[in-house]
Structure 1
Amino acid sequence: MAQPYKLQKPKEEIPLETSIINVWNEKIDELPVYKDLPRLAGRITIESAKSLNEIKLLELENNPPSLRLSKDMQEIGKFKIDKLEEITPISSNSSADEKVWHNVQSVVCKLADIFETPDKAQIIKNAFNTSKPSSDYQLTLPSLFESCMDVENSKVVKILKLIHQNIIYIGTYELKTKVPFLMTYMTKDVRGAEGWRINVFSKDTVSVTHTKREESLATAPSDKQFWLEWQLHVTLNKELTEITHSSLKITDLQFKQGINPQFKEEIKRNLCSGNLYVS
Structure 2
Amino acid sequence: MTAILSDDVARALTDGRAVVALESTIFSTLGLPAPANAEALEVCKQAVLEYGATPAVAAIIDGRPRLGLTADEEKRVLQGSRKVAERDLAVAQAQQWDVGVTTVSATVALAHAAGISVFATGGIGGVHRGSELTGDISADLDAIANHPVITVSAGAKAFLDLPKTLEYLETAGVPVLGWQHDWFPAFYTRSSGLPVPHRVDDEQTVCDVLRYRSRPNTGVLLTVPIPEADEIPESRIAAALATALEASAGITGPAVTPYVLARIEKETDGESIPANLALARNNAVIAARIAVALTK
TM-score of the alignment, normalized to the shorter chain, above 0.5: no
- Structure exhibiting the larger radius of gyration computed from Cα positions: 1
Q: Which has more helix, going by share of residues?
A: 2
Greater relative contact order: 1 or 2 (C-alpha under 8 angstroms, separation 6 or more)? 2
TM-score by length of 2: 0.24
Q: How does the TM-score come out when normalised to structure 1?
A: 0.25
More strand by share: 1
